[in-house]
């Protein structure tokens, strides 16, 4: 049987005292509203139960000052629907790493979450000492969600279709499932519902793209506090005046690229007015760089290279965290294995 929630006392601001009556003012008969009903005294309008706000008090105009408007005492503040020092339940569940906020809202709507023994409600706030319980049905539903690793080709966008280009998710079907996938799962169209990219890979880039139904995976990869590494192989040319300007060098770029600019790629650049986190940048061969980033701003590597006189002619993502692209063929996909984690 669910226990009653603890009582919470709300202190209301007392009304200002009524000024004493002027003994010189003539007595005036009480004003009655039209009709048979009598006016209800102000004191009876103040209901004892919370959180209804008491009616505001007012004083009548003083004699000899007919043009003065009645003075209203300030009304006490509205009683909050939830403790002001609490945290929204969906945010608390996400912070605990149990799910995303969207998943938390689904769990709460399905009645799978309780707080201090009582079924939780949407928008509920909880204090730091609240006892939160999740029914096994939520874990079962979460276990059915899939995470898919796709080798995205050039020409597909990561998210919604745009400018006539298809979304990469259209490549996820039974025909493009990698035959060497070791996962015991079998493809079902239901796995496409809510399948969304956890991180972008622009239309001109290829490589590892993560598509997931699992909010925990999305939060780990693209959450505000995420520091998961992403590794890229980047082919460049030296173009200090732009790719169509004079002085373009396509071969042995490493020999003409200034060392101080390589240092700036590693740390010292800003995009959109924000300094970038330190990056790992090294030469793999005279025309190819290896980037390791822990953030993912829009077209970040291309813009970083442009800032130091390089132009990107090829970009491939080969690793996210501890999960590598490996031998997955371009245009095909596989499931994230039970033992794999980013």
CA-CA distances (angstroms) from residue 204 to 234, 250, 325?
A: 12, 19, 18
Partners of 290 in the β-ladder:
233, 282
Output the 3-class SS for the chain. Answer: CCCCCCCCCCCCCCCCCCCCCCCCCCCCCCCCCCCCCCCCCHHHHCCCCCCCCCCCCECCCCCCCCCCCCCECCCCCCCCCCCCCCEEHHHHHHHCCCCCHHHHHHHHHCCCEEECCEECCCCCEECCCCCEEECHHHHHHHHCCCEEEEEECCCCECCCCECCECEHHHHCCCCCECCCCCCCCCCCHHHHCCCEECCCCCCCCEEEEEEECCHHHHHHHHCCCCCCCEEEEEEEEECCCCCCCCCCECCCHHHHCCHHHHHHHHCCCEECCEECCCCEEEEEECCEEEEEECCCCCCHHHHHHHHCCEEEEEEEEEEECCEECCCCCCCCEEECCCCCCC
Tell me the catalytic residues. 202
Per-residue tokens: 127: 């204090």
């Amino acid at each position: 049987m669910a226990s009653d929630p603890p009582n919470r006392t709300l202190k209301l601001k007392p009304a200002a005292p009524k000024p004493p009556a002027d003994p010189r003012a003539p007595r005036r008969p009480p004003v009655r509203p039209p009709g048979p009903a009598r006016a209800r005294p102000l004191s009876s309008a103040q209901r004892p139960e919370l959180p209804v706000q008491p009616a505001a008090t007012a004083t009548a105009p003083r004699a000899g000052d007919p043009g003065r408007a009645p003075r209203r005492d300030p009304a006490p503040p509205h009683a909050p629907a939830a403790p002001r020092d609490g945290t929204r339940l969906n945010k608390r569940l996400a912070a605990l790493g149990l799910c995303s906020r969207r998943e938390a809202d689904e769990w709460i709507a399905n009645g799978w979450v309780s707080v201090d023994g009582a079924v939780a409600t949407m928008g509920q706030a909880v204090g730091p000492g609240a006892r939160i319980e999740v029914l096994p049905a939520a874990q079962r539903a979460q276990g059915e969600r899939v995470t898919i690793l796709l080798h995205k080709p050039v020409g597909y966008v990561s998210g919604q279709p745009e400018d006539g280009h298809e979304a990469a998710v259209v490549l996820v079907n039974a025909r493009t499932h990698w035959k060497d996938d070791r996962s015991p799962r079998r493809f079902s169209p239901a796995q496409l519902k809510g399948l969304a990219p956890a991180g972008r890979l622009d239309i001109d880039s290829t490589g590892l793209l993560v598509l997931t139904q699992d909010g925990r995976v999305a939060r780990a990869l693209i959450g505000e506090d995420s520091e998961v590494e992403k590794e890229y192989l980047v082919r460049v040319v030296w173009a200090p005046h732009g790719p169509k300007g004079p002085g373009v060098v396509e071969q042995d770029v490493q020999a003409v690229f200034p060392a101080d600019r390589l240092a700036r790629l590693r740390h010292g650049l800003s995009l959109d007015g924000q300094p970038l986190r330190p990056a790992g940048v090294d030469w793999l061969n005279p025309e190819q760089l290896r980037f390791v980033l822990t953030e993912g701003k829009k077209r970040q590597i291309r813009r970083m290279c442009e800032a130091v006189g390089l132009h990107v002619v090829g970009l491939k993502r080969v690793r996210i965290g501890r999960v590598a692209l490996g031998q997955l063929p371009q245009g095909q996909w596989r499931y994230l294995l039970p033992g794999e984690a980013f």
